[in-house]
Amino acid sequence: MIPRYQRQVMADLWSLENQYAAWLKVELAVAEAQAEMGLIPPETPAAVREKAVIDAARIAAIEENVHHDVIAFVTSIEEQVGPPARYFHYGLTSSDVLDTALALRLLQALDIILADLDQLLETLKTRALEFQNTLIIGRSHGIHAEPTTFGLKLALFYDEFRRHRVRLLAARRTMAVGQCSGPVGNFSAPGLSPEVETRALAKLGLIPAPVSSQILQRDRHGEYFSALALLASSLEKLAVEIRHLARTEVGEVEEPFGPGQKGSSAMPHKKNPIGAENISGLARVVRANAQAALENIPLWHERDISHSSVERIIAPDSTSLADYMLIRLNRLLAGLVVHPEQMRSNLALTGGLYNSQELLLKLCDQGLSRVEAYALVQKNALKARQDGLDFKTLILGDPQVAACLTPEEIEAIFRPDRFLASVADIFGRVFIKEN
């Protein structure tokens, strides 16, 4: 992951030094469980804790010769600890350490992401309540439909991101497992047993996979990265909505723009939605990485190594990008400049055409067939659009409509506040029944 899109907390989590620290944590948990059960000398764990230091440079030097990172790591520990280290990595295979340590770091990353998501949810709730009754034209196919409120737009995203929180927690439960079961998962080594595994993993806050081969099965990781991809897609969805509403022709919102910020190297007037565009681009990477995680599921027999190189890339990249996008979108949304006056102006663009459904239904109530009522309303709507006329004025002057509805009834149809009638009920559904 390039530093531009990675916060320091994620850089530290996925650093090589922290990788080795996670490996050592797993190795020590196993050694402690083995010592407790009398399978290795009781002084082994203490000796390792006292003398072992992560030396990434030394591990790299050893790996240059042995071409195996776990062997290089174990060798560096043995160099420091001496004779007691003969019971270090006792009975384990590399993947026992690698997969369990990866699970630990994936969980740590997800905890950061969940905290980010909680911040975004709180911001969405705050701004949704702020604009609960602020009317804005709703659009379907990009065309004016009927009014909604800007608060309802944000409430919809709040509800969507709340579902992502449930998915991420489910993925966390799926990923919160480890293994200490040996070369093909059958505890064949003298230092291993299901009880050793259970004890060791409990020290790490994990539970044993009910059955493993040489690895944890990659459907678990597939679920994890798919959950991140779903999250990224909704982050982009919100970003795209902001981008659309910020277009010059719409002008209903705009991204926060700092005093010294520049929008274009050539055009000084530009204030571009670069934050939202950035999120749209990065979401593509997270989705692509989910596909790579799914490709990792069908490995050969008890294990092959084809998944390893993929995960060294997608684990730091997807988690770092999810963290970065959540933080950036939260800041963007918290500082989003909203223009209710432009929303009102855009509502008026079509001279009330958005009331066509209500008019249609009222005419049906007065005895017209739906086909007749539709044709009558559409005739006036098309004329208003074609000739640039006010729709309500045309309706008030249409004798066919006048035969069915009084001027007062027509005026009531064109009252914009009728679109607010159920907003409070919807907000009650979304925000009162929390989690």
What are the extents of the domains in the chain? Answer: 11-252+271-342, 346-432
Catalytic residue (one of 15, 264, 306, 369)? 264
Whether CATH 1.10.40.30 fits 346-432: yes
* Closest listed residue to residue 228, CA positions, set 113, 144, 75, 138: 113
* pLDDT of 435 higher than 60: no
Q: Would the CATH topology of 11-252+271-342 be identical to that of 346-432?
A: no
**Element housing 137 (H / E):** strand 135-140
Q: What pLDDT is attached to residue 83?
A: 95
How far apart, in whole angstroms, are the C-alpha atoms of residue 198 and residue 190? 16
CA-CA distance, 335 to 196, in Å (whole number)? Answer: 52
264 is catalytic: yes
Per-residue confidence (pLDDT) for residue 434, from 0 to 100: 53
Using alpha carbons only, what angle is made at residue 144 by residues 139 and 147, rounded to the nearest 5 degrees?
A: 75
Please report the pLDDT score of residue 257 as a whole number: 85
How confident is the model at residue 200, as a pLDDT?
Answer: 98
Model pTM score: 0.94
- DSSP class of residue 384 equals H
Please name the residue that has the structure tokens 């350490």. Answer: 97
Contact call for residues 141 and 171 (beta carbons, < 8 A): no
Region 55-67: mean pLDDT is: 96
Residue range 316-327: mean pLDDT, rounded? 98
Backbone dihedral region of 91: left (phi > 0), alpha (psi from -120 to 50 degrees) or beta?
Answer: left
Query: For residue 66, what are the CA distances in angstroms to 45, 69, 283?
Result: 26, 8, 38
Of the candidates 348, 336, 345, the residue with the CA atom closest to the CA atom of residue 273: 336
Q: Clarify whether 307 is annotated catalytic.
A: no
The stretch 217-242 carries a mean pLDDT of: 98
Catalytic residue among 67, 141, 269, 301: 141
SS3 253: strand
CB half-sphere exposure, 315, CA atoms < 13 A: 24
Average pLDDT, the chain: 95
Express each pLDDT in 226-238 by its tens digit: 999 999 999 999 9
Q: Which residue has the higher pLDDT, 140 or 262?
A: 140
Q: Which DSSP letter does residue 428 get?
A: I
**Banded model confidence at residue 18, pLDDT cuts 50, 70, 90:** very high
How confident is the model at residue 433, as a pLDDT?
Answer: 60
Q: Is residue 432 predicted with pLDDT exceeding 70?
A: yes
pLDDT tens by residue, 71-111: 999 999 999 999 999 999 999 999 999 999 999 999 999 99
* Mean pLDDT, rounded, for 172-196: 96
Give the integer Cα–Cα distance in Å for 166 and 154. Answer: 19
| 135-141 mean pLDDT | 97
Give the homologous superfamily in CATH for domain 11-252+271-342. Answer: Fumarase/aspartase (Central domain) (1.20.200.10)
What are 148's strand-pairing partners? 136
Whether residue 204 is predicted with pLDDT greater than 50 in this model: the reply is yes
| Whole-angstrom Cα Rg for the chain | 30
The residue ranking higher by pLDDT, 261 or 326, is 326
For residues 288-295, average pLDDT: 98
